[in-house]
Amino acid sequence: MAMSDTAGAVTRTWARVSLLRESPVGMVGAFLVVFWVLVAIFAPVISPFGPNSNDLDALVDPTPNAIHWFGTDMQGRDILARVIWGSRTVLTVAPVAVAIAYAIGSLLGLLAGYYRGWADTVINRISDIILSFPAIVLYIIVIMRFGPSALNIILAVIFIASPQIMRIVRGMTLELREREYVAAAKMRGESALYIMFIEILPNARGPLIVDACLRMGYTTIAIGVLGFLGLGLPPPTPDWGGMVKDSYALMSIFPHMALFPAAAITSLVVGFSLLADGMREISMRD
């Protein structure tokens, strides 16, 4: 019974996603995101060089040429290859971090909004404290304290995004808990967990999907900024932000070294934002 309903839910969700075709903006966003996802998946196939293989000949003239389309960096590494491999970093760290932040934020938001009272007070105060710091400062503190690594970046994103997600879910829960179908569920003796996850959460999905797309964009920016500050993935892992930082000193002579990774960051962030816009457009439909 529950299975068939889940299957139904999947078809319905897919039907909604295919509505995206009617939103040109959303389609552009989806194209950009799908493009980068494919690049990340097929990196070993499409990358002309290994991300860390040095071409010492190229050190003489690192500018783009027939062999190195995007040019090479100061160590003679192919920039196209590093941009391609770098997409793997971003597209692993960001989704994992956002997904976990969503799990934690949703749970806390549901608890706070559904039970209210002291649970709400405690959860809210703690997130108020976290949110009262500028996000970038928090990122820096967390990474400086625990050291730069993929795992620590994920933890930092979770630490900062969860309270924000909690607030959204809490707000929606406060509204949805008053719906008559929630009262009906209580009257037939459903558990609090069932009501939170089966009755309330699915109906909050619209705004949450939009927010998740936006948040993927923010997280991409954050990962870029951390890389640029030298708090990203430790070298030699290809990292878009780190690539910009490494070429910073040579920016005026060899702008291509920073330009391509920066363009990669921008296109992915824009992709997520446009996708979010498209999602918002279709969610406003009915």
Partner 1 sequence: MQFATATETNSRPGAGAGKPPVLELRNVSISYFVRAGEMKVVPNISFKLGQGEAIGLVGESGCGKSTVAFAVMQYLGTVGRVTGGQVLFEGKDLAKLSPAELRALRGRKISMVYQDPMSSLNPVIPIGKQLMEVPMIHFGENEQQARARALQMLREVNLPDPETMMTRYPHQLSGGQQQRVVIAMALMAEPSLLVMDEPTTGLDVTVEAAVLDLVARLREKHNTAIVFISHNLGTVVRICDRIGVMYAGELVEEGPIADVFRNPRHPYTRGLLSCIPTLGADKNSRPLTAIPGQVPSILNRPKGCVFQPRCRFAIAERCSQDPLPTLSLSERHRVKCVRAEELPSHDKLPQGIEAVAIGDQPVDAEAVLRIAHLRKTYHQSTGMFGGKGYDVHAVDNIELEANRGQTLAIVGESGCGKSTLAKVLTGIELGSAGMVTLAGKEISQIPVEDREADTKRAVQMVFQNPDSTLNPSHSIGYVMERAIRKLRGLSGREAKNETSTLLKTVNLPLEFASRMPRQLSGGQKQRVAIARALAGEPDLILADEPVSALDVSVQAAIINLLVDIQAKRGATLIFISHDLSVVRYLADYVAVMYLGQVMEFGRTDEIFAPPYHPYTEALLSAVPIADPDVHQRRIILEGAIPSPQNRPKGCPFATRCPRKLGPICDNEAPPMQTTASGHRIACHIPLDDLKKVDKVVVA
Q: How far apart are CA 200 and CA 185, in angstroms?
A: 11
Q: Does 5 bind partner 1 (CB under 8 A)?
A: yes
Nearer to partner 1, 182 or 243 (CB): 182
Binder among 66, 125, 189, 284 for partner 1 (CB under 8 A): 189
Binding mask of the shown chain, residues 10 to 49, with x at each position contacting partner 1 by CB under 8 A: --x-------------------------------------
Of 25, 35, 190, 283, the residue at the interface with partner 1 (CB under 8 A) is: 190
Smallest gap, in angstroms, from Cβ of residue 31 to partner 1? 23
Q: Dig out the tokens for 142 from the structure.
A: 């967390």
Could you say whether residue 56 binds partner 1 (CB under 8 A)? no
- Residue 9 within binding range of partner 1, rule CB under 8 A: yes
CA distance 118 to 56: 64
Cβ atoms of residues 27 and 278 within 8 Å: yes
Question: Cβ distance 222 to 101 under 8 Å?
Answer: no
Taking CA atoms, 66 is separated from 70, 71, 72, 255, in Å, by 9, 9, 12, 18
Q: Is 187 a binder of partner 1 (CB under 8 A)?
A: yes
153-182 footprint of partner 1 as x/- string (CB under 8 A): --------------------------xxx-
Backbone angles phi, psi at 162, to 5 degrees: -55, -45
The footprint of partner 1 on this chain (CB under 8 A) covers a number of residues equal to: 22
Per-position DSSP letters for 235-283, written without gaps between them: TTS--HHHHHHHTGGGTTT-THHHHHHHHHHHHHHHHHHHHHHHHHHHH
Binding-residue pattern over the window 202 to 241 for partner 1, x denoting contact by CB under 8 A: xx-x------------------------------------
SS (H, E, C) 203-223: HHHHHHHHHHHHHHHHHHHHH
Judged by the rule CB under 8 A, the positions of this chain that interact with partner 1 are: 1-2, 5, 8-9, 12, 179-181, 183-184, 186-190, 192, 199, 202-203, 205, 286
